[in-house]
Amino acid sequence: MGRVIDQLLKTHAEKFPAARHRMLVERGLYDDVYRKLDTFWKKASFIPYSRSTSWQQAGWIWRNKPFAEQYWDEVDVVYCPAESYVPTRKANLVCTIHDVAGFEESLYPQTLSRRLHCRKWRFLFGSMARHADAVITVSEFSASRIAHFFPALEKKLRVVYNAPHHVFGTATTEELQGDVKTLSGGKPYILVPGGLSLRKNAELILKSVPLLAKRLPGVRLIIAGKNEQPYLGQLNALNADNITLAGYVSDELLNVLYQDAAAVWFPSRYEGFGMPVIEAMVSGAAVVASKVASIPEVAGKAALLCDVDTPGEHVEALQSLLESDSARNELRERGLEQAGQFTWSKSARKLEDIFRDVVN
The third-level CATH classification (topology) of the domain covering 2-163+343-359 is Rossmann fold (3.40.50)
Mean pLDDT value across residues 236-243? 92
The pLDDT confidence band at residue 2, using thresholds 50, 70 and 90, is confident
Buried b (16+ CB within 10 A) or exposed e, 196-217: bbbbbbbbbbbbbbebbbeebe
The pLDDT confidence band at residue 117, using thresholds 50, 70 and 90, is confident
Residue 238 has a pLDDT of: 92
Q: Each residue of 217-227: pLDDT tens digit?
A: 999 999 999 99
Buried b (16+ CB within 10 A) or exposed e, 164-183: bbeebbeebeeebeebbeeb
The separation between the first and the last C-alpha atoms of the chain, rounded to the nearest angstrom, is 29
| Residue percentage of the chain with pLDDT more than 70 | 100
pLDDT above 80 for 359: yes
Residue 112 has a pLDDT of: 84
The pLDDT confidence band at residue 116, using thresholds 50, 70 and 90, is confident
Among the listed residues 213, 250, 247, the one whose alpha carbon sits nearest the alpha carbon of residue 232? 247
Residue 139 has a pLDDT of: 98
pLDDT above 90 for 110: no
For the chain, domain boundaries: 2-163+343-359, 174-339
Cα distances from 282 to residues 135, 179, 259, 329, 344, in angstroms, run 28, 21, 9, 14, 13
Higher pLDDT, 51 or 288: 288
CATH of 174-339 among 3.40.50.2000, 2.120.10.30, 3.10.580.10, 3.90.1150.10: 3.40.50.2000
Cα distances from 2 to residues 6, 8, 34, 45, in angstroms, run 6, 10, 12, 18
Question: What is the SS3 assignment for 45?
Answer: strand
pLDDT above 80 for 132: yes
Q: Each residue of 331-347: pLDDT tens digit?
A: 999 999 999 999 999 99
Q: Name residue 92's beta-bridge partners.
A: 77
Q: What is the mean pLDDT of the chain?
A: 95
Quote the pTM value. Answer: 0.94
Q: Each residue of 11-45: pLDDT tens digit?
A: 999 999 999 999 999 999 888 887 788 899 888 89
Rounded to whole angstroms, the Cα distance separating 306 from 68 reads 46
The one-letter code for the residue type at 68 is A
pLDDT above 80 for 288: yes
Task: Provide the CA 191 distance to its chain's centre, in angstroms.
Answer: 17
The pLDDT confidence band at residue 109, using thresholds 50, 70 and 90, is confident
Transcribe 231-298 into DSSP letters. Answer: HHHHHHHHT-SSEEEEES--HHHHHHHHHH-SEEEE--S--SS-HHHHHHHHTT--EEEESSTTHHHH
